[in-house]
Amino acid sequence: METTDSDPTDAEEACFEAGIKFGALYHQFAGTPVSPESAPSLETAIEESIENQPFADSVSVEILTDKLRDEMTGGYTELTGRFMEVEVVVDYEGVSVVTRMEMEDGYPLMRVESVA
């Protein structure tokens, strides 16, 4: 395939792939019932699910159980971005992109940490 000046670079493609992973992760699992007791198995399920996607090198999910306890009613609450810290690493054509999701100003912000 011939390339042109408007073709995305490998770094841009890697960042795009990271965005796809976060979109799938957030929208697939937001709303899942979770409790401090079920959090570890849900972390594993999320990690393994997203790692199945192309170019996903590693996924690390931490569900913040102390925050869950503060907001639980009836023994559980629904998973949202305010209860998670996530790192997704994508490897695309030798370009490694590290991305994170953390709460910032009340919003689950997803950002690119590094591209190498």
Distance CA 9, CA 109 (A): 24
Mutual orientation of helices 39-51 and 10-29 as an angle, nearest 10°? 140
Domain assignment present for residue 4? The answer is no
Domain assignment present for residue 3? The answer is no
**How many domains is the chain partitioned into structurally?**
1
Q: What is the CATH number of the domain that holds 60?
A: 3.30.1300.20
Distance CA 75, CA 3 (A): 55
pLDDT over threshold 70, residue 1: no
Q: How many residues does the chain have?
A: 116
Convert the pLDDT of each residue in 44-82 to its tens digit: 999 999 999 999 999 999 999 999 999 888 889 999 999
What average pLDDT score do residues 9-32 get? Answer: 96
Domain assignment present for residue 5? The answer is no
Looking at residue 5, what is its pLDDT? 77
Domain assignment present for residue 70? The answer is yes
Domain assignment present for residue 1? The answer is no
Domain assignment present for residue 20? The answer is yes
Domain assignment present for residue 79? The answer is yes
- Give me the domain span that covers residue 45: 10-115
- 81, amino acid identity: G
Among residues of the chain, what percentage have pLDDT more than 90? 90
